[in-house]
Structure 1
C-alpha cells in the first residue's frame, strides 16, 4: 500500500486515544525521516540566492504571519485539502485542478467584464470627441460675447467637458475603475493561494497531526521528475516554463495592438519582460507545489488571453465591438511574429 493511501486512511481515524497514539507514531516517524532527508539536502545546497529566498519564504513574522493566518488563506487552504480528499487525486493533480477551478470561476468572468467595460468606455470616448467639437464652438461664441480671456475660456471648456464625460459614464454605467476589478481580485487570490500552499509545505499556521500528514502526502505525491512537491524543482523545468509563458503573455499583449506602442508603453513592456525573467530564479527557490501553481496559472492566463482575442468570443460574451478591434487577431499576431523573426535573422546576417 502506498504512503498516500496510508495517510488518507489515517487522517480519518476517530479520536480514540489508542488510535491517536498510533496516528502520532506513524506521522512522527515519517516526518522525522523526511526531516533527515531534508537536512541532507540542506547540507549539499550552496546556492546563496536560493537560501536567501527560502529563508524569506519560511519567515513567519510580521506581514508573512498576518497573511498566513488570515481568513482568505485559511479558506483556500481548507478548500484545496477538501478537493484532494473528495476527489482522491494526487497532490500534483489537485493543485492543477484547483488552479483551473479558481481561475474559471473568478478571473474569467472578471476578464470578460473588464473587456465589456473597456468596450463601452471606448464608445463614450468617441462620442465625447464629437461633443468636444461642439463645446469648442460654444466657448468661442462665449469669448466674443463676454470677452473671456484664454484662461477663462479653457476653464469653462474643461468644466463642461468633464460634466459631459460624467453624464456619459453614468448613462452607460461604465466607470473606468470597474475595469480594474480583475487586478484587485486576481493578485490577492494569487498571493493567498500561494501562501496557502506554503502553509501546507511548512506545516503552518498550526502544527498538528493532520498538517504533518498532509506534508508527508505532498512529499510522495509528485509527478515525473518532481517526486517531492515540498522541495524546489531539481531541474528548473517549471521555473523556466513559467518565465517563458509569462514572456509569451507580455508579447501577446504587445502584438495584439493594432498601433505601434508609445514610448511609455514600451517602458511598461520592458518592465514586464524584466519581471518575467526575474521570476525564474524566484520560482526555482520555492517548493514545487507553489511553482506548479504559478506555472499552471500562467498557462491558463495565456490560453484565456488568446481566446478572448477572438471577435466571435467577444460577441458571444456581449463585449461591444470597437474601432480598434482586429478582424483577424491571430493572423495579425502571426504576422508580427514573422516580422520579428525576420528582423532578428537580418541582424545576425549583418
Structure 2
C-alpha cells in the first residue's frame, strides 16, 4: 500500500506545482517612511548599525553591491525552481498512483469522503517533502533572495535619506553639503526631489518592464499568479508619485537598483549563462529567449494596435 496505515510505499516523492517566481522584489517594495517622534521605530531604524554602514556608500555603488550580492542568490533561486519544474512529471505520476491507493483503502476501511481527502493530502505532503529533500530543492531556498534583497534595499534607502536630510555627519562635516552639489544632468541637487519627474517615471517604467518580462515568459499562469502580477503592476505605478517626493539620491538609487534587477532577469534567461550557473535544463526553457521575449512583447503591445 502507498501509505503507512495501509503498508509502506516509496515510489518517489511529490512536489506540488510551485508558483512561478516573480522578478526579484523591485525597489518599490518598501513604502515611504515618514519622520516619527524621537524614540519611535523609524528613529531606531535610522540609527541602526546596518543603516549607518550603508551611509558610507553612494547610490550607484550600492546598486553595484546589490548586484554582486544578489546575482548569485538569483542564480540559486533559478536553480531550485528549475529542479522543482523538472520534478513535475514524477509528481503527476505519483499523485495518480497515490489517489488510486487511497481509493482502495477508503473502500476497504469504509472511510468517509472527508477522511479520504485528509489522508490523501497528509501523505502527499509527506511525499512532497521527501522529494524536495532527495533533490535538494526545498521551495524555501528560493525565497532567500527576498530576505537578503529587501532589507538591503530598506537600509540603503533610509541611509540615503539620512545623508540627504543632514541626519548623518562624518568627522564634523555634513554629507548633505556634498550631495547638494553632487548630482548630474537634470538633478544636480541630490537632496532635492526631481521636479522634472524623469527619475520617478523611469523607476516606474523599469519596474513595469521587470513585471512584463516575468509575465511574458510564463504561459498558463494560475489565477493567483495573475492576481499577483496585476497587484505588482499597480504598486509599480503607485511608486511613481512616491518617488517624486523623495530626495533625488534615493530615487536615483531606486532606479539603479531596478535597472540592476532587470539586467539580472534578462541575463538569467541566457542559456549559456544558465549553463555556467549550473541551472538544470527545463522543458519550458527556450533556446532563443530574447527573440521569444521580443516576439511576445510585440504581439501583446504592438501588433494589437
Q: Normalising by structure 2, what TM-score?
A: 0.82
Displacement after TM superposition at 1:97 (Å): 2.5
Query: 1:67 offset after TM fit, Å?
Result: 1.0
Deviation at 1:238, TM superposition (A): 0.9
Contact 1:243–1:276 (CA under 8 A) maintained in structure 2: yes
Contact 1:203 1:211 in 2 (8 A): no
Conserved? CA contact 1:200–1:211, under 8 Å: no
Say which one has the larger Rg.
1
Relative to 1, partners in 2 of residues 1:155 and 1:240: Cα closer, same or farther, differing over 3 Å? closer
Residues 172 and 210 (structure 1), Cα distance of their counterparts in 2 relative to 1, 3 Å cut = farther
Residue in 2 that maps onto 1:132: 95
Counterpart for residue 45 of structure 2? 67
What is aligned with 1:311? 271
1:210 aligns with 2:188: no
Q: 1:75 to 1:208 in 2, by over 3 A?
A: closer
Q: Establish whether residue 227 from structure 1 lines up as the match of residue 188 from structure 2.
A: yes
Unmatched segments (≥5 aa) in structure 1? 1-52, 81-93, 346-350
> 2 CA distance for matches of 1:144 and 1:265?
37
Whole-Å Cα distance in 2 between the matches of residues 151 and 273 of structure 1?
39
Q: What runs of 5+ residues in structure 2 fail to find an aligned partner? A: 1-30
Match of 1:84 in 2: none
Q: Which residue number in structure 2 is paired with residue 195 of structure 1?
A: 158
Shift of 1:277: 1.2
Deviations 1:52-90 (A, max 9, x none): x99x64446422101101111112123x1xxxxxxxxxx
Q: How many pairs are equivalent?
A: 274
Name 2:242's counterpart in structure 1. 282
Aligned position for 1:327: 287
**What CA deviation, in whole Å up to 9, does each residue of 1:254-292 have, x standing for no partner?**
1111x1334333322221111111111111111111111
Q: Is the 8 A contact 1:204 1:211 kept in 2?
A: no
The TM-score with structure 1 as length reference comes to 0.72
Of Structure 1 and Structure 2, the greater helix share is in: 1
- Counterpart check, 1:181 vs 2:144: yes
Give the secondary structure class of the aligned counterpart of 2:172: helix
In the alignment, structure 1 residue 97 sits paired with structure 2 residue 57? no
Match of 1:122 among 72, 85, 91: 85
Quick check: 1:308–1:314 contact (8 Å CA) kept in 2?
Answer: yes
Equivalent residue number for residue 110 of structure 1:
73
